[in-house]
Amino acid sequence: MAWRHRLRAAPTGFGVAFLLLVALTLIGCVNYALSLGYGLTFLLAGVWVLAAAQALRAARDLSVTAHAGGTVQAGQLLPVTLRARGGRRGVVRATLTSTQGSAAGSVHLDSGSDLTLTLPTTARGPLDVHVSLRALDRLGLWQVPLPQPDPLTVLIHPSPEPGAPPPPERALPGQGDGAGRGPGDEDFSGLRPYQPGDSPRQVSWRHVARTGQLLTRETDAAQGRARLLDWHDAPGDPEARAARLSAWVHALHGQDQAYALHLPTETLPTGTGDLQRQAALNALALQPPLPAPRPPARMAAPPLDGRALLWTLLALTVTLAPGALRQPWWLTGLIAALLAHTVLRARSARITPLPTWLLGLLAVAGGAALNATYGTLLGRDAGTAFLAFLAALKAAESHARRDQAVLTLLGLFVTSTGFFFSQGPVTALYAVACAALLLTAASTRLGAAPPLTRAELSARLTPTVRLLALAAPLTVALFVLFPRPDAPLWQLPVQSQNMTGLNNEVSAGSFTNLAQSADVAFRADFQGALPPPAERYWRGPVLEAFDGLTWRQIRGPGPMPSIEATGAPVTYDLTLEPSGTPWLLGLDAVVRVPQGAFITSAFQAVTPRTVSTRRRVTLVSQPALLGRQESQDRLNFTTALPGGQNPRTLALARPWQALPPQERVQAALAFLRQGNFTYTLNPPLLPQQNRTDAFLFASRQGFCEHYASAFAVLMRAAGLSARVVTGYLGGEVNPDGNYLIVRQRDAHAWTEVWLPGRGWVRVDPTAAIAPARVNADLSTALSQPTASAARPPGQLERLRLKLDTWQNRWNTLIVEYDGEQQTALLSRLGVQGGAQTLWWLVLPALLLTLLPAYTWMRRPARPTDPAQRLWQDLTRLLGEAHPGETPSTYAQRQSAEHPHLAAPLRDAVTAYQTARYAPGEPDAALSELRGALRALRGMRHRARR
């Protein structure tokens, strides 16, 4: 029947879990400001919405018929075949229920195949089979209940008694061979018209050949020769009697003997053949008392098909692959082993699943090992690694179809966690590819899974990619309009180690490893001209506490020193890479920070939120006198030195105390310039005691932290307040984007000295040894310390800078899109207001973006047969066919209206009929049909011109 009632869609259990996953990833994106995570979340939300339309489309004009496949005996499986026709692409799921059992199954509407379900039977008698039908989308997220057709009533015959004794020899009562006759197989008694069920041996083929009419020979026998089966011949309860008599009926039918059946409620006259057996078994099946129905067994969860598991394992392997680059090698090997075992189990039934106790032991041991490796299971690295491990364990444990749904959801969640590590365009494309594979694998849960071949993968991916493309406009609308909060919902560590390259303490060798790293620390995009190289000092932690070995940052309340501007302000945008620290690296001196951030008493810009993901902030800096009005307690603290250390350094600086403060600074710089010091990444190890003496008077080789630390000690020994400032120096100019790229190898340390009347003054002792470190870059400073400029970039460097320009634009437009940029964008579009205004814009935007999908969903479905698709294209070209019009009639009508099209129309009809109905491969006929269609298009085009 075709459904004409009002259709209503509701999410399935998998659809509800899918929606909860979308909500969970959205919360994570809000909390950790994962811009690309928003995109993936909204894409999945679009899929969820469009799946509802797909389910409704599948239910529209759907026709489903059901019929039972013959009679069965109690204890056998009753086959019920359902045929779905007329619906659009989707899935029909049927559930059979009766008082004796239940069964369920699904069939894809575009496969053109029927669905046959087998229903268990337990007792004789009439059985009402109720059919429940639902139309689903291809992913199984939504279901549309369909009206239940009338129940199927099937008569279940009694099961024959195994090893029953022979039928009784008692014949029908009679008076001898000639006294009374009845149906039998001894003597010919006449001819009668053929009736269905007559044995072919009884047909009179001589009369058929002469007259063409089917006639059946009638025979009879003495009534005393036909067997009589009586209900009371069988002992036991009614079920045992029915089973014994059923066995006798089958035995006599096999011997082609005539028999009659006497039951308490019915008497079956003498007869033979299939009709007699059917009548006898029907009577036995209905003989009261009928057995009381037993409660049906609970329908077991459908097992997971091996092919469907292979599809899911392919998608899961691709999803987990990036984790191999960042997680411990032993975990990668364990995950690969679990997936390999699951693949073997899916391909061969002889491979047994791993025992549950072993999987549980692996989960506990893996969690403990990860906790020992990372120190926690809550961090970014440990958490994502443990999640990947749990997904592999779940794959090894999977045995039912619902496990495939769980694996799909786990895979999508693992895909979203990849944005913790990178939000580049390659990562975005890879995430969409993983989502497409996982959703394609999810579609194999319903119906028979096809083999995992390249052709099937392409065929299955096509509708998934089409669904994702239809969800793209909705994704863009939500990405642009969904309100972005300014603060996280909660604070949890998203990474297990510091990645910034800077720390809140410095000792000899702290910056050496950073000098080897080309990783980007941040990018700085200036609204005006770039500052000169000598002013590109990016201020980070300020270290004031010194114990003779290590300089440390101190925190505590105190009065804010003065900042007195001396130049024009400079506005710039910083794109910070994830660091796990709250530091905003700004030029001296930062005078304006984003909302919520603040400037410390050491003039360092700090944000309350750690920079756990790529983040864009706007800062304003201005040349200024820093701390002319400074706390005396701070000045006293930054003059102190540990006692009993570095006597030679103290002796060197003691005479300088008589000089004016500025001359003390120059005396120390002159000592460095004239002392044959070397700028190197590989200085000799320094002792624990008197480390500054060993550096200044023995090794004379070091990196920036050596010179900054030694110079600060010299200044304190000379009676001046001094401290070490860490941060970055310089930056690579990208001429394509007119911005600076600051890398980890640009990490630097310098000294600040407090001078009366001037406040804190930056002094870079490294520049006295290697001026190229300020004028050029690190590599130039190491090879040519006195160079005044860096080498011009080569061809490969220019290409790298071009790629970085695209990366920076991607970051600006996509990754760093936050509430501030959202407000600015809407303001440029003339939309004013806060989050409330955005919510009013979301609804109409969603309706507009869903229009293309709605139009596509409403269009008629394309036929699955290639010849029918080509013929449909032909009718659209020339004019739609009338209802019920055959191709030949259509061609005749069109030829009468357009005589010049008669020849190609005739060729098209011949090719179409050959492709559809002729035996053999239709490839040649399809090629001819395409040629005729091209000829018709060309003739129509020339006629219009």
Domain-embedded: residue 595: yes
Identified catalytic residue from 220, 704, 777, 907: 704
Overall average pLDDT of the 158-170 stretch: 88
pLDDT in tens, 400-438: 888 889 999 999 999 999 998 888 899 999 999 999 999
CATH number at residue 145: 2.60.40.10
Give CA 632 to chain center in angstroms.
60
In this prediction, residue 895 carries a pLDDT of 87
Q: What is the rounded distance in angstroms from the CA atom of residue 541 to the CA atom of residue 602?
A: 8
233 is catalytic: no
Do 215 and 71 share a domain, yes or no?
Answer: no
User: Which domain, by its residues, includes 912?
Assistant: 866-944
Domain-embedded: residue 461: no
Are β-strands 732-734 and 739-743 bridged in parallel, bridged antiparallel, or unpaired? Answer: antiparallel
Do 666 and 538 share a domain, yes or no?
Answer: yes
pLDDT category of residue 320 using cuts at 50, 70 and 90: very high
Domain-embedded: residue 533: yes
Overall average pLDDT of the 167-173 stretch: 78
Domain-embedded: residue 69: yes
Coil, strand or helix at 727 = strand
Could you give the number of structural domains in the chain? 5
Rounded to 5 degrees, φ, ψ at 539 are: -75, 130
Q: How many helices (H) and strands (E) does the chain have?
A: 27, 35
Tokens coding 157: 């015959």
pTM over 0.95: no
E-assigned strands of 642-699?
Answer: 678-679
In this prediction, residue 109 carries a pLDDT of 64
pLDDT in tens, 461-515: 888 998 898 888 888 888 888 887 766 666 555 544 444 568 888 887 666 666 6
Do 511 and 426 share a domain, yes or no?
Answer: no
pLDDT in tens, 614-634: 788 899 999 999 999 999 999
The region, left, alpha or beta by phi > 0 then psi within -120 to 50, assigned to residue 724 is: beta
Identified catalytic residue from 108, 157, 253, 748: 748
The pLDDT mean for the chain works out to: 83
Do 201 and 106 share a domain, yes or no?
Answer: no
pLDDT in tens, 546-591: 998 999 998 777 788 889 999 999 999 998 888 888 899 999 899 9
Query: Percentage of the chain surpassing pLDDT 90?
Result: 31
**Packed helices 380-397 and 329-347: angle between N→C axes, nearest 10 degrees:** 20
Do 702 and 734 share a domain, yes or no?
Answer: yes
Q: Give one DSSP letter per residue of 824-892, joined into a string.
A: HHHHHTT----HHHHHHHHHHHHHHHHHHHHHHHHSPPPPSSHHHHHHHHHHHHH-PPPTT--HHHHHH
Do 428 and 536 share a domain, yes or no?
Answer: no
Given 229, 252, 286, which residue is the final one in a domain? 286
Do 147 and 224 share a domain, yes or no?
Answer: no
Domain-embedded: residue 734: yes
Do 106 and 211 share a domain, yes or no?
Answer: no
Give the end-to-end CA distance of the chain in Å, rounded to a whole number: 48
Do 514 and 596 share a domain, yes or no?
Answer: yes
Given 738, 769, 795, which residue is the final one in a domain? 795
In this prediction, residue 789 carries a pLDDT of 64
Domain-embedded: residue 925: yes
Overall average pLDDT of the 141-162 stretch: 88
Q: What is the rounded distance in angstroms from the CA atom of residue 612 to the CA atom of residue 584?
A: 12
In this prediction, residue 666 carries a pLDDT of 94
Judge contact between 749 and 507, C-beta under 8 A.
no
- pLDDT tops 60 at residue 84: yes
In this prediction, residue 209 carries a pLDDT of 67
Domain-embedded: residue 840: no
704 is catalytic: yes
- pLDDT tops 60 at residue 711: yes
Domain-embedded: residue 174: no
Do 192 and 68 share a domain, yes or no?
Answer: no
Overall average pLDDT of the 900-912 stretch: 87
Do 779 and 926 share a domain, yes or no?
Answer: no
Do 789 and 914 share a domain, yes or no?
Answer: no
pLDDT category of residue 373 using cuts at 50, 70 and 90: confident
Identified catalytic residue from 220, 381, 525, 764: 764
262 is catalytic: no
Overall average pLDDT of the 904-917 stretch: 87
